[in-house]
Each structure stands twice: as structure tokens, then as C-alpha cells.
Structure 1
Amino acid sequence: MKAPAAVSAPGTTAGERWRLGRDRPSRRVVIAALLGNGAIAATKAVAAFVTGSSAMWSEAVHSVVDTGNQLLLLHGMRRAARPPTPRHPFGHGLELYFWAFMVAVLIFGLGAGVSLYQGVEKIRAPHPIQHVWASYVVLLSAAVFEGSVWLLALRTFRRQTRRLTLLQAVRASKDPTIFTVLFEDTAALLGILVALAGVTASTVLDNPIYDGLASIVIGLILAATAMLLANECRSLLVGEAVSPEVTADVRRLVLAQSEVSGINELLTMHFAPREVLLNVSVSFVPSLPAGAVQDAVSRMEGLIKQAHPEIRRVFIEAQRV
């Protein structure tokens, strides 16, 4: 005999979800990166025009792409905060993962592509860097800002994943906004170091080919960053379960109920960083009254949501043999 019982967490209005989103540390990180990258992109573009450095042009394009990326992430966060509709009954949280994936496409298509093109063109038609001091001033200033945003993103990210290594934390994270900014700023810092090395080598050795080689290396760094980010977003888009620790705790809470004789299946899926669907098939002890089954289902729902607030919707299939 089957007695399905489904319980769903109440939704929030669009305004409530938007207010919640505005208070998230991830939004502050994205906005900080947006404001800084916009200013740095303009400064790098002016310096690239003055110096004629292909590495500087690559860095300018990189910062422009990063600025667009932050706008895409903010757009994704806003769309993901919309409430459920009849056509999208589980909400729009997965849109955040889609727009994060688009960020990876933008990094690869524009950032890496333009940088590689600039580098090849500089090697084919080398020309000396003019006013090299401008490159140093802009790159060192950019390093200070990028490093500040990187530390802010890292601190925010590590607060959410204290007990894991950085690589494990990225793999386990369900919030692409933080690790996207972290990936971008890591690539930006590496790109600045490469650009500084290329400009210095070109000037000291009086060979502009090193400037072109630096631009190619920056393109390869961006391509690698894009592939890593795309892989993480792909996994989130196709549907990731909660962590094994959360699954084990939910299983423990269910099996601790005296009415439960076993769990047949326990499925979870993230629809947003902090919005999880739980579907669990439970076997109850034989000859248990229907009222007792309903009481146990309601109790389990309350215990699960209290222990794990990110589990917003709970569907329990109650089975009696």
C-alpha cells in the first residue's frame, strides 16, 4: 500500500527574494568587482593606446570582459530571484547557473580569442613599446585593486567552506557568483604578472616579440579559466545533489523516527545555491494507522527544514507493507 504525502516549503514573493539577494555577501563581491574592473578597463585601454603594447591591449580586453561578466552575474542573480510560476513551478534559480556559464563563454570567446590574436599579430609585425612607464603604473595599480577584490572574494568563499581545501570548496560550492569572481581575479592577477614580465623583457632586451608572447600566454590563461568555469557550471546546470554530509544527516533524521522502518530512495537537487528539492521514499512499520503516518511525515518535514534551511521543498512518499 502506498500513501504519498508531499509537502512543499512556502515560496517567497519577488520583492522578498530580491531583498534577500541584495544582502548576500556574494552580491557585494560582484558589485565591487564590477566597479573596479570598469575603471581599470578604461585605464588599461588608454595605456595600451599610448604604449602600443599588445600585452596591455590583452589586459584591457580582459578587464572589459570581466566588467561584462559582472553585469551578466548581476542579471542572473536578479532573474534567479523571481518567484515560481505555473510554467516554472520550482522557481528560476537555475538561471543563475546559466548566466554563469555564459560568463565562461564570454571569457573564452572574447578574452582568450582577442588576446591570442593580439599576440600573434605582435609577433608577425613587431614594434617597440612607447612610454613604457605608463604600462608599469597601470599594471601595478591594477594589481593592487585586483588583489583586494581577490582577497574579498576568497574570504567570503572560505567563510562558506572552512573545512575544505580550496579545490574541494570550488567543487562543492553551489554559488557560482563567488567562485566566478575568484576565478576571474586569479586569472587577472596572473595576467598582470605575465604582462609585466612581457613589457619588462621587451624593454630590457629591446625585442618586442616578448610583448606578443606575453599576450599569447594571457590568452592561454583565460582559455584555461573559461574551461574550468564552464565545467563547474555544466555540473550545476544538469543538477547537483547536496553534499554527502547533508544527505547523511537527512537520512539520520528520517531513520530516527520510530514509525520509519527504512528508506527506499533519497534524492536531492539544487535549484539555486540555497534552494534544494528533497524527494524521499520512506517505508513505515506495518499496520501503522494513516494518522500516525501523516504525523510522522509532518514531523520529519519540520526537523529536516530546521536542520537544513536550504531544503525548501520536501516530497515524502510514504509506503506501508
Structure 2
Amino acid sequence: MGEIFQLLKRGNKSAMLAAIINTIISIIKGVAYMYTGNVAMFAETMHSLGDAANQFFVFVGSALSKKAPTEKYPNGFGRLVNLVLLGAVLIVGIMAFETIVEGYHHVVHPTESSGFIINLLVLGVATLLETFVLFKAMKEILHEIEVEASGPSVFAKSFANLGRAKPATKLVFMEDLVATLGGLLAIIAVLIAHFTAFHRAEGLASMVIGVMMFFVVGKVFLDNAAGVIGQADEEMENKIGELVMADPDVKDIQGLTVIKEGEDLHVELEIEVDPKLTVAAADDIKDRLEEKIMAEKGVVDVTIEIDEEDEIMSWKNRSEPTTE
């Protein structure tokens, strides 16, 4: 039990914060929907409820993925977070389907909802809270990739570096981005329905919110399916390749692979050295490189093979443009 609590302390904090806030938001929205019968409020209730459950599972998965390797599972539990996220998106998918169906029914059979002021207040407060969580997720992305930013630049830099974020943080970011946009859309729909008597606006808003939720489902599914299979991290391969080639005793790199498993990186490296070097000298090179590579953020293990120089340059930085 003590080990579980220690692991939970290392879980993704953005996911836990988002889960707590979305639970509160879903309860408030649910009560408002029961009182007013507003279909846009129903869509937002389902959205927040799905997000809360999703983000709680993300928090647990990100924590358990940090469990140390065991004799039975020598490769560790890094991919567990990807598996949890694949399961979590099913929840969002179900909520998205229900949201679209309810919205469709309201478009076909529009009805007038009550509690205009209540709807606006609840949606306004909820959207502000979602914006706060979104901003925290943006800050978390920049913290993970060690990028400094403040003020408006946080928004631009977090969007630009979203692909480098950890799977759990990326999911929180995407869900709360859609939640914030969905809240604004619901507010607009409530205003239109109230002042123009176009009550179908609320149903249309519900359907659009459901479609946005399905977009998150698709994006997260594809990203984490790749993580479960084992995805190469080309950016880190280039970085480690430059680090290795900077060593004066390394003549070439025959092979370099960096596999991402959840938040962990596994490095496999094959280098060429001067064939005249002694075994002891080659071993020193290996130890030196292993120490440098292990110092890189996210790297959990390194496998290095050494071969003699063949005088044919094999290594080429993948970020460099290819020439015919």
C-alpha cells in the first residue's frame, strides 16, 4: 500500500487538478440542467463528467507507469500510461455519442428551456475554471520540455510544443481546450435561443460539442496506439546522435534508436571506434557515453554496442535536409 501512495505522488499533477475541477463543474452543470432542461447544459454536463473520469484515470495511469521494473516485467511499466489513455478515450467517446444524440433530438423537436440567468452564470463560471485548468496544462507542457515563457507567450509556445508534451499532459490540454471552446459555444447558443427564439441553436451547439469531443478521442487514440506499439523519438535521436558524435573517440554511429514508452525513453546505440584501441579504452568510451546519455531527461536505460571503424560514414542527422 505504501508503494502505491508513493507512486500516486508522482502522478501527473495537471491531470489530478483537472479531474477535481471537472468533477465540481460537472456537478454544478448537472444541477443546472435538471433545473432548466437546457440541452446545451446537458452537453456540457456530459463533457465535464467525461473529462473528470478520463483525467482521473490518466492521473492513476501516469503514476503506475513509474513503477520500477520487476523480475516478471523487466522492461518496466512505461507503456501503462498509453494503455490507460486508450481505455480512457472510450469514456469520452460514449459521452460524445450521447451528446450528439441529445442535440439531434433537440434540433428535430426544439423546446424552450428556462433559467436563462442560471445557465449563463453556470456556463460562465465553468468556462473560467476550464480556462484556468487549460492555462495550468500549458504551463505544465512548457515545464516538461524546459521552455521558459510568461504572459501571452505561454499560449503560443505551448501550442507550438504540444507534440513534445507527455501523453497525460497532452490529453489534459486537448480536453480542456475543447471544454473551454465548448463552454463559449454553449453560452452563445443560450443567448441566441433566448433573444431570437431560435431554440434549435442549443441542439446544434450540443452536436458541435460532441463532434469536438470525438476529435479528441481520435487524436488521443492515434497518439497512444503508437505509444503502445513503441514509437521512435526522432528529435531525441538527433540530440543523442549529436552528443555521441561530439565525443573525440567516436568515429561513426552505425545505428541509433530511441523508443518512447509512455514517458520513458529507451536508447539503443551502435558506434564505431578506432580498431587499435584496447578493450579497456573501448570500455571507458562506453561508460562515458552511457553516463552522458542517461543524464538526458526521460532516458531510463542505454544499450551500447561497439564495432571497429569501417571508414564509411553512416550517421546523418535526421533533421538535416536530404540531398539527391
Both structures adopt the same fold (TM-score exceeding 0.5): yes
Q: Residues 214, 251 of structure 1: CA spacing in aligned structure 2 closer, same or farther, 3 A cutoff?
A: closer
The equivalent position to 1:81 in structure 2, one of 66, 78, 82, is: 66
Alpha-carbon distance in structure 2 between the residues aligned to 1:68 and 1:194: 22
Q: Give the 5 Å matches for 1:59-74.
A: 59-74=44-59
Q: Residues 230, 167 of structure 1: CA spacing in aligned structure 2 closer, same or farther, 3 A cutoff?
A: farther
The equivalent position to 1:35 in structure 2, one of 8, 15, 20, is: 20
Alpha-carbon distance in structure 2 between the residues aligned to 1:196 and 1:240: 40
Matching residue of 1:293: 282
The equivalent position to 2:162 in structure 1, one of 161, 165, 170, is: 170
Q: What amino acid is aligned across from residue 247 of structure 1 in structure 2? A: E
Q: Percent identity?
A: 22
The equivalent position to 1:115 in structure 2, one of 87, 99, 109, is: 99
Assess if the C-alpha contact under 8 Å between 1:266 and 1:280 holds in 2: yes
In the alignment, does 2:304 pair up with 1:316? yes
Unaligned runs of 5+ in 2: 149-155, 310-324
Moved beyond 6 Å, runs of 4+: none
Shift of 1:116: 0.5
Shift of 1:114: 0.9
In the alignment, does 2:209 pair up with 1:218? yes
Q: Residues 64, 296 of structure 1: CA spacing in aligned structure 2 closer, same or farther, 3 A cutoff?
A: same
In the alignment, does 2:257 pair up with 1:267? yes
Q: Residues 317, 43 of structure 1: CA spacing in aligned structure 2 closer, same or farther, 3 A cutoff?
A: same
Matching residue of 2:196: 205
Aligned length, in residue pairs: 300
Alpha-carbon distance in structure 1 between the residues aligned to 2:247 and 2:203: 67
Assess if the C-alpha contact under 8 Å between 1:18 and 1:81 holds in 2: no
Deviations 1:104-127 (A, max 9, x none): 23222x221011011111122222
Alpha-carbon distance in structure 2 between the residues aligned to 1:123 and 1:252: 58
In the alignment, does 2:43 pair up with 1:58? yes
Shift of 1:69: 0.6
Which stretch has the larger CA shift, 59-68 or 249-258?
249-258
Shift of 1:272: 3.1
Q: Residues 86, 20 of structure 1: CA spacing in aligned structure 2 closer, same or farther, 3 A cutoff?
A: closer
**3-state SS, counterpart of residue 161 of structure 2:** helix
In the alignment, does 2:120 pair up with 1:136? yes
Assess if the C-alpha contact under 8 Å between 1:202 and 1:209 holds in 2: yes
Query: What TM-score comes out, normalization by structure 2 length?
Result: 0.85
**3-state SS, counterpart of residue 132 of structure 2:** helix
In the alignment, does 2:228 pair up with 1:237? yes
Unaligned runs of 5+ in 1: 1-13
**3-state SS, counterpart of residue 280 of structure 1:** strand
Assess if the C-alpha contact under 8 Å between 2:22 and 2:49 holds in 1: yes
Q: What amino acid is aligned across from residue 210 of structure 1 in structure 2? A: A
Q: Residues 248, 219 of structure 1: CA spacing in aligned structure 2 closer, same or farther, 3 A cutoff?
A: closer
Alpha-carbon distance in structure 2 between the residues aligned to 1:253 and 1:18: 37
Matching residue of 1:156: 140
Deviations 1:118-167 (A, max 9, x none): 11111222221012222111101101211111111112212334388544
Assess if the C-alpha contact under 8 Å between 1:21 and 1:81 holds in 2: no
Computed over aligned residues only, the root mean square deviation of the Cα atoms, in angstroms, reads 2.3
Which stretch has the larger CA shift, 144-153 or 283-292?
283-292
Assess if the C-alpha contact under 8 Å between 1:18 and 1:78 holds in 2: no
**3-state SS, counterpart of residue 253 of structure 2:** strand
Assess if the C-alpha contact under 8 Å between 1:172 and 1:243 holds in 2: no
Assess if the C-alpha contact under 8 Å between 2:139 and 2:158 holds in 1: no
Alpha-carbon distance in structure 2 between the residues aligned to 1:22 and 1:155: 19
Q: What amino acid is aligned across from residue 295 of structure 1 in structure 2? A: D
Assess if the C-alpha contact under 8 Å between 1:304 and 1:311 holds in 2: yes
Shift of 1:23: 5.2
Q: What amino acid is aligned across from residue 88 of structure 1 in structure 2? A: Y
Which stretch has the larger CA shift, 181-190 or 27-36?
27-36
Assess if the C-alpha contact under 8 Å between 1:282 and 1:317 holds in 2: yes
Q: What amino acid is aligned across from residue 140 of structure 1 in structure 2? A: G
Q: Residues 167, 239 of structure 1: CA spacing in aligned structure 2 closer, same or farther, 3 A cutoff?
A: farther
Shift of 1:256: 3.7
Deviations 1:221-251 (A, max 9, x none): 111222222222233233233352x433422
Alpha-carbon distance in structure 1 between the residues aligned to 2:43 and 2:184: 13
